[in-house]
Structure 1
Amino acid sequence: MGKTTQRKHDLEYFTIEKIEQVVRAGDQVLLKSPKPNEPPYVARVDKLESNFKRNGKVEVKARVQWYYKPEDTSQGRKDYHGTKELFLSNHYDTQSVDCILGKCTVHSFRDYVKLGNVGDEEFYCRFEYNAVTEQFTLGDSDWSCICGRLYNPDHSPAAQMMVQCYGCKLRSEINHSICKDHVKMDSTFRRNVKMKHVLP
């Protein structure tokens, strides 16, 4: 019995017909979880390709780069992780486009904190995660306090809000308001304080 041959072609885009949404390489998408009660997965589309088989069938697949949730990493979820926080991983996979539910948006942390209303399909990412070494790399924001904790944008109490000393304009002086109140913000402090890069 002969082998079924395949011809692969890169695609510029494909359309999710049910919602008439066009997906291209570079888009962030929601993918169906194999577990019925589990939220969708989030990934970035790296490449789209069609496989033409000898039997006449055509398969369209997407090579995706996965975003991990904090609880999916070796370190687990911490108190400074927001509910919408994701980590861009180096884990790539190939999925059928039938698993794609629709597009979503993964903002940079700096853009996310400027949003007024956050939609169900909006997330943010400030870390990259190496799924092999289980190491984190801080991305576009190093907003950490002198207490060593990173900023969680979900925390509404005033004590958890981050404030900055605009007089000195040092990024190291972005602190929780409650921590700032316990520190004398003088020139000696500004010279001696150092950022604590707290990774998840």
Structure 2
Amino acid sequence: MKNCPYCKIDVGGNLKKCPLCQSRLVGEDEEKYFPTQLKLKFQSFFFKLQLFIVWIVIISALWLDYIFKLPFGKYGGFHWSLLVLMWLFAFEFSIIHVFKKGMDASRIMSIVVVIVMAMVSVTAYYFGYLLFVLQWVIPIMVMCTIIANFVLCMVDKSGNAMVYLLTDLLVGIVPYFVYITLKKDCPIEWMICLLVSFIIFVGAIIFKGREVVGEIQRRLSV
């Protein structure tokens, strides 16, 4: 067993320094008290590595945009480095949720999809493709999320996939009624999304009827 010559305490395990005064311990190593968490060490290294790469990209983009005045192709009139900064912060926010304990697959996917939709919409606005994104990209992403959450509801027994599925179904239905209320023609893409939403809702009732009813009652307190 090791001991600290200054604090006069015995320290078990294989520590190199005294936990009280941080002086070097003397004596023989013993077996480790706790196993090495290789998974946590790998996750920590991966997180630090990607964070380092992200900051390299941020600094380089700001330098090229503000110092070197490098334009972003034929698109001008705005600082493109701010878009890069926005995307990378969104990426970091998503990474934090991926590694956060207690986050199930449905919640992570829903959060990431919402972030991506917001980032794509803002980016499309600056490049002049906002209408295309709102009428094509967003409906497709909503439909894919609905289908993915439906699959998770079938296989996930312990998560909260059902509440995210019902939320996505609501998102898929609301735009159609908004267009109808405003007395405008609903784009075919959102009409297809409405159709998919109803089909998935019927499937959820058939396969997971009790869970659907229970989730609705719990959320609406009825």
TM-score bracket for the superposition, by shorter chain length: under 0.3
Larger strand percent: 1
Larger helix percent: 2
The TM-score normalised by the length of structure 2 is 0.23
Bigger radius of gyration, 1 or 2? 2
